[in-house]
Amino acid sequence: MREKVIPPRSVEALALARELRILLGNFKRRMRDHTQPGDLTLVQISVLARLDREGPATVSTLAREAGVRPQSMGATIAALEAAGLVRGAADPADGRQTILSLTDACREVIAASRLAREDWLLNAIETKLTPAQQAELARAVALLQRLVE
């Protein structure tokens, strides 16, 4: 099999893409290390984030979006319910379905976690970057926003 020939400009972009992927992965892990709530698994955190971001959902919807079987998601939800982070209520349109939502206690945990991440990041920016570097970071953030639009 022949390797694809990449133009020189694309080689530089490919190297930048790799570095950015690695950097963002490390950045995400550092933030998670400073604010990981309790003993939650990544799947549980993902479910809570989805419910927070998009609102109530059924187990089937959550399972489909996560790419797992409903039985597997059911076990995840059971653990979150036992921890007091998620509650279920009958679907008013279809009483056979249960609509899952975050508890008030969970919303407080999420808010505290966000504040902790922002505090960690603020401290890192203020202590590790000069004002000129902070301005450069602001420009870089604007470029990153363009990448995800």
Q: Degrees (nearest 5) of the Cα angle 93, 53, 35?
A: 135
d(CA 22, CA 16): 10
Give the residue extent of every domain in the chain: 1-35, 36-148
d(CA 1, CA 45): 42
% of the chain exceeding 70 in pLDDT: 93
% of the chain exceeding 90 in pLDDT: 67
Q: How confident is the model at residue 8 (pLDDT cuts 50, 70, 90)?
A: low
- The two tokens of residue 143 are 């470029």
| Torsion (CA) 97, 64, 117, 39 in degrees, nearest 10 | 70
- The two tokens of residue 50 are 């989805």
Enter the pTM of the model.
0.74
Contact present, 93 and 55 (Cβ < 8 Å)? no
pLDDT in tens, 79-98: 999 999 999 999 888 878 89
> Tokens 């379905």 — which residue?
97
Q: How confident is the model at residue 40 (pLDDT cuts 50, 70, 90)?
A: confident
Report whether pLDDT(103) > 60.
yes
CATH number of 36-148: 1.10.10.10
Question: Taking Cα atoms as reference points, which of 85, 89, 61 lies closest to residue 73?
Answer: 61
pLDDT in tens, 128-143: 999 999 999 999 999 9
Report whether pLDDT(6) > 90.
no
Higher pLDDT, 93 or 99: 99
Give residues with Cβ within 8 angstroms of 98, minimum separation 6.
Answer: 58, 59, 88, 89, 90, 91
